[in-house]
Amino acid sequence: MAGTASRAEALIGRGVVSTTSVAGGDICTATRLRLSDGSNAVIKTRPQAPDGFFRREAEGLEWLRAAGGVPVPEVLGVDDECLVLAWVEPGRPTAETAEAFGRSLAATHAAGADSFGGDRDGFIGLAPLPNRPLPSWPEFYASRRVMPYVRAAVDRKALTVEQARTIEQTMRRIHSVAGPEEPPARLHGDLWSGNVVWSTEGTAWVIDPAAHGGHRETDLAMLALFGAPHLQRILDSYAEAAPLADGWEQRVPLHQLHPLLVHAVLFGGSYGSRATAAAQAALSPA
């Protein structure tokens, strides 16, 4: 770990006293750093990371942090092969923390964005994330989120041509199922439960964003996709702080379509079938 410590010291201008490997994460190697001033940090590294990978993550974290809503770790340093963040000590999720998280997430969304999309393309995991803005969320979601991944999934044999046709049909009708128009929200963009850190201080922090301007229901649908602790408390407190448009529950499959397609491209398996089912459910909500 000597090289990792030296890299961190050069980036943040503080000495590293000790390093400890952090379990979890299949994209980057994470190492906890005990610093000479008594504080702790974490450094994420990946040799030959895609161009701009860590810098886009750092920019997304800073953009979310500037909203003053959901807590986001401070970016201490970044370069082409690593990112150093302030350490968040993991704790256990509680109902009270979940309620506070729902309110703070609503505040982050309310900070808004300049457009549906972003200034530059990003990443979701290691996968590319097109962000060139479009005038409305339905246009942006269909053109920048769903259809690029439909094509990639077909190329990788993760979707059949027939399944792709089903999803395309949903995208052609997206304006009729997208719900009322809303201004662009400031989204985390990859808000599954693994990107929420429940701290010992009784606060839920967010990490690893795919930040962009989008529809706030997208973050909520992502929380539900793989299950989050105290999910209903999060949703209830969010809705109290920022009421959701009627029928938002029926639009959850629509918003889950993109992450399911990402998983189909990256992992294959049943995700192509799940994405197709989500597209069908978006057109025929229960």
Rounded to the nearest integer, the mean pLDDT of the chain is 95
Q: For residue range 36-63, list pLDDT tens digits in order.
A: 999 999 999 998 899 999 999 999 999 9
| In the chain, % of residues over pLDDT 70 | 98
Residues 66 and 22 in one domain: yes
Residues 278 and 139 in one domain: yes
CA distances 65 to 100, 117, 186, 189, Å, are 16, 18, 11, 14
Residues 65 and 184 in one domain: no
Residues 119 and 204 in one domain: yes
Residues 111 and 61 in one domain: no
Whether 228 has a pLDDT exceeding 80, the answer reads yes
Residue 74, domain CATH: 3.30.200.20
pLDDT at 26: 74
Residue 199, domain CATH: 3.90.1200.10
Residues 31 and 137 in one domain: no
Q: Mean pLDDT throughout 126-151?
A: 97
150-156: long-range contacts at Cβ-Cβ below 8 A with a sequence spacing of 24 or more?
A: 150/261, 152/265, 153/261, 153/264, 153/265, 153/272, 153/275, 156/264, 156/265, 156/268
Whether 30 has a pLDDT exceeding 90, the answer reads yes
Q: Among the three residues 55, 86, 117, which one is the final residue of a domain in this structure? A: 86
Q: Provide the domain limits for residue 171.
A: 95-283
| Residues 6 or more apart whose Cβ sits within 8 Å of residue 57 | 78, 83, 123, 208, 209
Residues 113 and 194 in one domain: yes
Q: Is the pTM of this model over 0.75?
A: yes
pLDDT at 14: 94
Whether 1 has a pLDDT exceeding 70, the answer reads no
Which DSSP category does 69 fall into?
S
* Dihedrals phi, psi of 185, to nearest 5 degrees: -95, 160
Residues 50 and 139 in one domain: no
Residues 110 and 236 in one domain: yes
pLDDT at 284: 82
> Are β-strands 29-35 and 212-214 bridged in parallel, bridged antiparallel, or unpaired?
unpaired
Residues 77 and 34 in one domain: yes
Active site residue 246: no
Q: Among the three residues 39, 63, 86, which one is the final residue of a domain in this structure? A: 86
Q: For residue range 89-104, list pLDDT tens digits in order.
A: 999 999 999 999 999 9
Q: Among the three residues 41, 63, 86, which one is the final residue of a domain in this structure? A: 86
Chain centroid to CA 244: how far? 20
Residues 81 and 177 in one domain: no
Dist CA 224 CA 191 (whole Å): 9
pLDDT at 47: 86
Residues 172 and 247 in one domain: yes
Q: Which of 37, 121, 190, 246 is catalytic?
A: 190
Domain count, the chain: 2
* Dihedrals phi, psi of 119, to nearest 5 degrees: -70, -30
Count CB-CB contacts under 10 A for residue 37: 8
Whether 25 has a pLDDT exceeding 90, the answer reads no
